[in-house]
Amino acid sequence: MRRKKIAILFGGCSSEYEVSLQSAYAVATHMDVQNYEIILIGIDKTGAWYLYQGDYADIPSDNWKQKAVCIPAAVSPDKNLHGILLLRETGVEVLSLDGALPVLHGKNGEDGTVQGALELAGIPVIGCNTMSSAVCMDKETAHRLAKECGVKVPASYTIAKAEMRNEEQIMDYGKALGYPLFVKPLRAGSSFGITKVGEPEGLQKAVEYAFTYDSQVIMEEMIEGFEVGCAVLGTEELTLGAVDEIELSEGFFDYTEKYTLKSSNIYVPARISQEKAEEIKETAVRIYRALGCSFFARVDMFLTPKGDIYFNEVNTIPGFTPHSRFPNMLKEAGISFEEILSRLLEMVSDAGI
């Protein structure tokens, strides 16, 4: 039987480029190579695409972009080819694909841009589609849809770049939300550009900082309690991981904390009742369905001291190393890292692609 060609996309024009390298290495080294042929597509920080044919070990150290092992590539717009074009010195070569798994975090990877290019090319995307990816990346849109299906969401105000210097309006928003509050880029991942603002004096600076990451900014009320997450796997029939819990001793779960855990801990399963865990899972499924997610995603929420559940965000391409939250939640439910990948690939096969 012919092995299906599955592209793993890594790198990208994103502040989370380095995280993508770690995730892609883990995926490539845990995939079933007996039934699937791995095609590695590296995207550098400028947005250039390459077919990477070098050692997997050079990916996480960011030593992968070497001329001897990289062939410039581009997505073919021809749906009949459903693949990529290799721009060799001797001419253009077509490499057809059976599917593509973007392991790209943040902007230009998790926001629907790459998914759109792949879908236009007729390449099956292993993950959320273009619309779902874009919706989940936009915090205001995601919150509105979650609220429509009965899930509590933090109060918020969105600011366009033209309003950035309207300090009076921004201060009014801050007063309405109350302090402390959070200022975030509307569409960015891994807590980049986020500031927890404790006093009005720090609000304008936080807004200006968030605008360095996006053209729109959202101000959100702070929800008392702690963050919980739920891994969801599947499209029609869903598999749920154990609910996890983030314990913080200070600040918030920013980029540094996510990857060092210097002053925080992650508990899997969360230290909550079974009944509350089931309620969180049910909420995660409702959000996953409402936002049109498919294949996999991690749904993050807040649990208040009163037991209320608030939606935070959906990560459509969560961290994908054996030590990341998403696989660890599924591991607690009895599903290994290798099995997660096998199930994702089987979903493409089951679709008759």
pLDDT of residue 2: 84
Q: Report d(CA 159, CA 173) in Å as an integer.
A: 10
pLDDT of residue 257: 47
Please say if the pLDDT value at position 256 is more than 70.
no
> Which residues 6+ apart lie within 8 Å of 280 measured at CB?
228, 230, 243, 270, 272, 301, 303, 309
Closest CA to 217 of 246, 194, 250: 194
Band of pLDDT at residue 192, cut at 50, 70 and 90 = confident
Please say if the pLDDT value at position 255 is more than 60.
no
Estimate to the nearest angstrom the gap between the alpha carbon of 319 and the chain centroid: 7
User: Considering just the CA atoms, what is the radius of gyration of the chain in Å?
Assistant: 21
Q: Which long-range contacts (CB under 8 A, 24 or more apart) does 84-87 make?
A: 84/7, 84/41, 84/49, 84/51, 84/121, 86/51
Torsion sign over Cα 270, 273, 278, 282: negative
pLDDT of residue 263: 53
pLDDT > 90 fraction of the chain, expressed in percent and rounded: 86
Q: Report d(CA 272, CA 1) in Å as an integer.
A: 47
Please say if the pLDDT value at position 7 is more than 50.
yes
The neighbouring-strand residues paired with 216 are 160
201: which 2 tokens?
A: 């004096």
Please say if the pLDDT value at position 112 is more than 80.
yes
Band of pLDDT at residue 261, cut at 50, 70 and 90 = low
Band of pLDDT at residue 127, cut at 50, 70 and 90 = very high
* Contact indicator for 186, 218 with CB cutoff of 8 Å: yes
Give 92: exposed, middle or buried? Use CB within 10 Å, 0-12, 13-18, 19+.
Answer: exposed
pLDDT in tens, 278-306: 999 999 999 999 999 999 999 999 999 99
Band of pLDDT at residue 201, cut at 50, 70 and 90 = very high
* Contact indicator for 349, 6 with CB cutoff of 8 Å: no
The domains of the chain, with CATH numbers, are 4-126 (3.40.50.20), 135-151+224-350 (3.30.470.20), 156-221 (3.30.1490.20)
Unique residue bearing structure tokens 């899997």? 268
pLDDT in tens, 140-167: 999 999 999 999 999 999 999 888 888 9
